[in-house]
Structure 1
Amino acid sequence: MKLLRLLFVSALIIACQSEKKEDKKEVINPPIAKKIPKELTSHGDTRIDDYFWMRLSDEQKNADNPDDQTQDVLNYLNAENDYLNEVMQHTEVFQDRLFNEIVGRIKKDDQSVPVTDNGYSYYTRYEEGSEYALYCRKKITENAEEEIILNGPKLAKGYSYYGIGSQDVSPNNKLMAYGIDTISRRQYTIFFKNLETGELLNDKLSNTGGSATWANDNKTVFYTTKDPQTLRQNKIYKHVLGTDQASDVLVYEEKDDTYRCGVFKTKSRDYLMIGSFQTLSTEYRFLKADNPDGNWQVIQPRESDLIYYADHFGDDFYIRTNRDATNFKLVKTPIKKPSKENWTDIIGHREDVLLENFDLFKDHLVTAERLNGLRTIRVLPWEGKDYYIEFKDPAYTAYPTSNLDFDTNILRYTYSSLTTPNSTFEYNMDTKEQALLKQENVLGGFSSDDYTSERFEVTATDGTKIPVSMVYKKGISIGSETPLLLYAYGSYGNSTEPTFRSDRLSLLDRGFIYAIAHVRGGQEMGRQWYENGKLLKKKNTFTDFIDVGKYLVDKGYTSSEHLYAMGGSAGGLLMGAIVNMEPSLWNGIIAAVPFVDIVTTMLDESIPLTTFEFDEWGNPKDKTYYDYMLSYSPYDNVEAKAYPNMLITTGYWDSQVQYWEPAKWLAKLRDMKTDNNILIMDCNMETGHGGASGRFERHKRTALYYAFLFNLEGIED
């Protein structure tokens, strides 16, 4: 009887504690955004946007004294951050532990592999505890002393965000131009430094793309500026040192607002190039680098659906192009007669191989190709038989990198897999001997042998085979209770590479499987893989991802109660689409800087990035595209139904996906969803699309991601 009484009392105590926990949860009330209905009408169709008021102009965001609307937006975003902190408060200690665990794997006094360029060896190195790098060089002579040409920790001191752009050294090695962004909107100011004296020049170029291209006279640079509203790189100026920016000469203006432009120098250093880029078309102009005041010439005038990229070797331009070649081919053309009528094939088109890039050497041509969904490297001696470098992992990436020296038989390339840390090799293209220069040093007793990677295919609804890359720790029990995080991007032809990340070990070591769905919209399986995942075929990206998720459940890798999905930016649009289409398939979603209000954004050409993305998504001013985009737009398709647990992130200064898109989406989800699942947003008020600028600080958000997942899985350590 006494035992029964004790059991009854214990049960009562537990019940009371449970009630108190429930009461505590009820006290945490999420912010409820006010509604100000705004009618948006296109093609006779009217949408009501209750949260359009959240959009602020750049002038409002930068004003010293916020107006009423700005204050309302700030109050709402801060309230969401407060709510996030309340909901995740019980994980704060765990987040700190995860953060320390993640950064604890990073070598604090690390140094990059030196790169040889014009008589100097350039590298970056970190000192113990520094968030930012020291940019250094040494002369390629015996016992040469280190020169710190840019002191990142010193420059960044006092800034909440400090983005260092390109560092461009003059041909005589005496001067350097470098770009700085302290707002996180990728509008850089270019400064000039005398590398012999360490002094800054008076020259300063504002609102630039972040890099400067030197002519061979060591006093003239070319640079891009941005439209201050849309941030489109649309003008290229010539600047002569010692003059004011206001007197710089406009050498090119890209007036077609579906294009952006840039300027660079060929590997030979003989020519300057201006490129105009659009999703489906490019155009290049060239000028002898010894003659910066000369007249620019067009290689091949722009045409719809004609993409090409040019570099220089000898008397010819070598060009990668899609002309009569869906997967691209390599041609060459005389400098004196560069137009397409004179292009001759060097490497013809192949149906099963995507030509991604090429690199020119004195005695060799090197191509980066994609075969069966994986990157590979091909070496083609100008005289002799070509061959491929062999790699063994089932899922990996490999590509040439930092090959600035033309007169060499040494190729430098990077290799990584889901179980192999980033590794830099030097490869002798004549003897096929190679040497490992550096492999990412993962501290804490890491061993590749403790992990297993797989690669397999999933048959999509329409019969297409979707590649999947997967990694997990050996010895874990795989079944319906196994947590699995599925990732994808699937846009712009950007392929998601199966590479190593040391921060991912915190997931794998706690029993998670990590998988990548190589969905259409990327370019893993060739150019058609991209073509079949954009415009009026965009939904293939979403259904591919869902089909992979269902396969993983059906094959017993996990279950819907333990399946999670993650994507960022355009991959965040993917997250928004799949939760509308198959909300019950996922237990949790991480949508990072998600592009979710696609119709409204693409109708507004004043928003950065809109105009030159019509070829990716379609122009909703055309009713065909409007109807199709509206049918999958995450924001427009939120419904009164149950949604999975969700963590959304954004940055107040994001210029690529403006903060109001995820903020509006969150508000609408919270208003309409019928479940009691977690819905939270982390809005970093000091950063933009890429998050924090410091190499350690950025992992605080990673720790938040993982704490969110572990909390849903009941993992507390």
Structure 2
Amino acid sequence: MSDVQAPFAPKQPSPRTHHGDTVDDPYAWLRDGENPEVLAFLKDNNTYTETHTEHLDGLREQIFGEIKSRTKETDLTVPSRKGDWWYYTRTEEGKQYGIHCRTAATGDTPPDLGDGGPLPGETILLDENALAEGHEFFALGAFTITPDGNLLAYSVDTTGDERFTLRFKDLRTGEALADEITGIFYGGAWSHGGEALFYTRVDESWRPYQVYRHDLGAKGEDALVHEETDERFWVGVDLSRSERYLFLESHSKITSEIRYLASDRPTEEFALFGSGRRHGVEVTVDHQGDRFLVLHNDGAENFTLGWAPLDDTSAFNPILEHRADTRILDVDAFSTHLVVSYRRDGLTGVSILDFAEGTGYGEPVELSFPEPIYTVHPSANPDYVSGQVRLSYTSMITPDSVFDYDLATRELLLRKRKEVLGGYRPEDYEQRREWAVAEDGTRVPISVMYRKGITADGTAPCLIYGYGSYETSIDPYFAVPRLSLVDRGMVFAIAHVRGGGEMGRAWYDNGKMLHKRNTFTDFVACAEHLVKAGWSAPDKLVARGGSAGGLLMGAIANLAPQRFAGVVADVPFVDALNTILDPSLPLTVIEWEEWGNPLEDPEVYEYMKSYTPYENVAATEYPAILAVTSLHDTRVLFHEPAKWIARLREVATGGPFLLKTEMEAGHGGRSGRYDAWKEQAFALAWILDTAEAV
């Protein structure tokens, strides 16, 4: 280990006063990303972190090599049928990004995938590698093709700030069109005839609040279609699966409102769906035949599904009634059936309902799978008229798999299972579901994976991962980089804590607002369970989480530092109170429905102050901490982990406390796959070293 001293951040008085409470924030000056002293602090920390971990250089290279050697670098996705074409994306060895392609369709069965190279008759629609040339960062924000297959709209971000430039391409000739729009948000939706594209713009707080219509080839300014003035709401626009309607959605964390427009009448006004927004009522809408499908939670905590006639959107006819044990997640409409995604007993599921106009819906058929824990959901299904449903399936030991469910034969047809090179055999590993008991007696599920032969005698190192916010579920999944841990004897666990959606809407509600501490105590209970069950010991247990899961990491480091040998916090939301107190920062106002509004509510202020990681760093011994951030992150600004690490070094003992900043990246880190593998190798080597697994 290096004896180099950690970079020093001078304290500058910066008092904050709310509800009669005055608090000094001496590291507030680190917010200014254009201040040369701030940039110098970040760069000095990068040097310090690299120096402090230089003994892991060989291990990092070894892990990177393992990830690379296990990955089939020249590969392609299973083609998806849309109209007269099969669409797919492929990768090539040595190239960072995907290549989007299509080939003419001659039947309903996807073409043979061959060796992963170009398919016969291939046309390259967009090569991300060519677009990324000369840029340290590259991300695609939109890739949408007109219903007739003739035109492509795509958008790119080359800084990581998630503000995109939109461009157009004629797929018949391969020519780039002159139209270009800068500073837009993700996505876009075409009109039915391809004469217009609808897109969104963000305000200064990075809130998508305006929907515009761009008439292809037209001169002058684009038409402003809708502007959302309530700062709690985002807007988005999408095309129905049938491609007959455009839907404009305004939504906050707990409320949504839908407007709709026939997609062949793009210059007309959107009509309000139903009775409009009602506080706490969430609605999603799709189109099928002579009706609209309506998924909502009005009087139905876990949501209910129904339909409304095209000429009366206030009517509601039930399809699936509310169930206390089943959270309906989504519905995909096809011409002759529905595909319903749901969650029950901590696992995802898919059911199929036949549909015929004039007759209605048949009984749902729930698909079954043999593994004890897994994740399944509908995948790419671009064709509204189809006799098959494409599904994605994975588990902690089963690589990503693509199935087609045949509606006529009721068979699941495996189209592809991700090939893991180097002799990977699922039978060499085990996965299981464990249950921890939280402080209030709630049973909290844990998904566990390990290599066969591991004995639950308390000697194994373990990585426990968690998130627990926004009703986002971290379901069991396969990951090639994880093999570099478990093949070295580590146990891997996912703590499905409250605040996520794993056990239904109540699971989320009981981990937000004034119940947020449940997220943290659930995670500690899961860590304690793993130790009691013999899967690890505190001096070999490392915790990891990112973004809101990084808030979780900071909170458990304060709450139970003795329970962990190390903590990895990726782009961590560790200065939550100061951020939520500042409505000028990105995302703050909409976040008030997740965390509460400490500006106006003294109870929320005191509650958040009691758990926010930066506010609660204590003069006690902490585990080793690695915080990773990005300079251009617009979701969790870089200053949050910078301030947190500065305060840890000032107040706490233990550590070391390391900060690593990507200077050319956003919230998701480095963009190219090889760069992303290197970043994973960096973190995994640190985890193995901290858990004394090497």
Same topology, TM > 0.5: yes
Contact 2:461 2:692 in 1 (8 A): no
Q: Which residue in the other structure is 1:412 paired with?
A: 390
Contact 2:165 2:182 in 1 (8 A): yes
Contact 2:16 2:25 in 1 (8 A): yes
- Runs of 4+ deviating beyond 4 Å: none
1:328 and 2:303 aligned:
yes
Contact 2:239 2:245 in 1 (8 A): yes
Distance in 1, matches of 2:89 and 2:390, equals 17
Contact 2:234 2:250 in 1 (8 A): yes
1:674 and 2:649 aligned:
no
Q: Deviations over 1:577-630 (max 9, x none)?
A: 001111101011001110011111011111111111111011111111111111
Distance in 2, matches of 1:217 and 1:386, equals 35
Q: Which residue in the other structure is 1:559 paired with?
A: 537
Distance in 2, matches of 1:479 and 1:567, equals 26
Letter in 1 for 2:582: D
Q: Which residue in the other structure is 1:3 paired with?
A: none
Change (3 A) 1:362 1:170: closer
1:153 and 2:129 aligned:
yes
Structure 2 matches for 1:233-382, cutoff 5 A? 233-244=208-219, 247-300=221-274, 301-339=276-314, 342-382=315-355
Q: Deviations over 1:488-532 (max 9, x none)?
A: 100000011101111100000000000011100011111000000
Question: More displaced, 357-366 or 232-241?
Answer: 357-366
Structure 2 matches for 1:391-430, cutoff 5 A? 391-430=369-408
Secondary structure of residue in 2 paired with 1:530: helix
Distance in 2, matches of 1:455 and 1:164, equals 36
1:204 and 2:213 aligned:
no
Contact 1:180 1:210 in 2 (8 A): no
Distance in 2, matches of 1:234 and 1:118, equals 33
Q: Which residue in the other structure is 2:488 paired with?
A: 510
Distance in 2, matches of 1:379 and 1:267, equals 16
Distance in 2, matches of 1:357 and 1:302, equals 20
Question: More displaced, 478-487 or 279-288?
Answer: 478-487
Offset of residue 171 of structure 1: 2.5
Q: TM-score, normalising length from structure 1?
A: 0.93
Offset of residue 715 of structure 1: 4.2
Distance in 1, matches of 2:579 and 2:406, equals 50
Structure 2 matches for 1:59-208, cutoff 5 A? 60=34, 70-141=35-106, 145-208=121-184
Offset of residue 384 of structure 1: 4.3
Secondary structure of residue in 2 paired with 1:646: strand
Distance in 1, matches of 2:668 and 2:444, equals 28
Distance in 2, matches of 1:519 and 1:450, equals 28
Secondary structure of residue in 1 paired with 2:281: coil
Contact 2:77 2:90 in 1 (8 A): yes
Letter in 1 for 2:387: N
Distance in 2, matches of 1:358 and 1:693, equals 31
Q: Deviations over 1:611-667 (max 9, x none)?
A: 111110111111111111111010000111110011110000000000000000000
Contact 1:190 1:210 in 2 (8 A): no
Distance in 1, matches of 2:196 and 2:46, equals 47
Offset of residue 712 of structure 1: 2.1
Contact 1:361 1:409 in 2 (8 A): no
Secondary structure of residue in 2 paired with 1:698: helix
When the two chains are superposed, the root-mean-square deviation of aligned CA atoms in Å is 1.3
Q: Which residue in the other structure is 1:63 paired with?
A: none
Identity %: 40
Offset of residue 34 of structure 1: 0.8
1:660 and 2:678 aligned:
no
Letter in 1 for 2:270: W
Find 1:490's aligned residue among 461, 468, 471. 468
Q: Which residue in the other structure is 2:366 paired with?
A: 388
1:583 and 2:548 aligned:
no
Distance in 1, matches of 2:629 and 2:19, equals 31
Q: Which residue in the other structure is 2:614 paired with?
A: 635
Question: More displaced, 37-46 or 552-561?
Answer: 552-561
Contact 1:190 1:211 in 2 (8 A): no
Unaligned runs of 5+ in 1: 1-23, 61-69
Offset of residue 696 of structure 1: 1.8
Q: Which residue in the other structure is 1:9 paired with?
A: none
Distance in 2, matches of 1:713 and 1:467, equals 23
Offset of residue 315 of structure 1: 2.0
Letter in 2 for 1:292: P
Distance in 2, matches of 1:713 and 1:640, equals 23
Distance in 1, matches of 2:368 and 2:688, equals 38
Offset of residue 416 of structure 1: 0.5
Distance in 2, matches of 1:522 and 1:618, equals 17
Q: Deviations over 1:97-118 (max 9, x none)?
A: 1111112111110101111112
Offset of residue 284 of structure 1: 0.6
Contact 1:114 1:121 in 2 (8 A): yes
Distance in 2, matches of 1:56 and 1:200, equals 39
Distance in 1, matches of 2:424 and 2:471, equals 33
Secondary structure of residue in 2 paired with 1:696: helix
Q: TM-score, normalising length from structure 2?
A: 0.96
Secondary structure of residue in 1 paired with 2:11: coil
Q: Which residue in the other structure is 2:629 paired with?
A: 650
- The number of equivalent residue pairs is 676
Offset of residue 471 of structure 1: 0.3
Secondary structure of residue in 2 paired with 1:247: coil
Distance in 1, matches of 2:53 and 2:144, equals 44
Offset of residue 144 of structure 1: 6.3
Secondary structure of residue in 2 paired with 1:545: helix
Contact 1:178 1:210 in 2 (8 A): no
Q: Deviations over 1:404-431 (max 9, x none)?
A: 2222221111110011001000111232
Secondary structure of residue in 2 paired with 1:104: helix
Structure 2 matches for 1:417-456, cutoff 5 A? 417-456=395-434
Secondary structure of residue in 1 paired with 2:621: coil
Q: Which residue in the other structure is 1:5 paired with?
A: none
Letter in 1 for 2:266: P
Distance in 2, matches of 1:507 and 1:410, equals 38
Letter in 2 for 1:276: S
Offset of residue 221 of structure 1: 1.0
Find 1:218's aligned residue among 188, 194, 201. 194
Distance in 1, matches of 2:304 and 2:186, equals 31
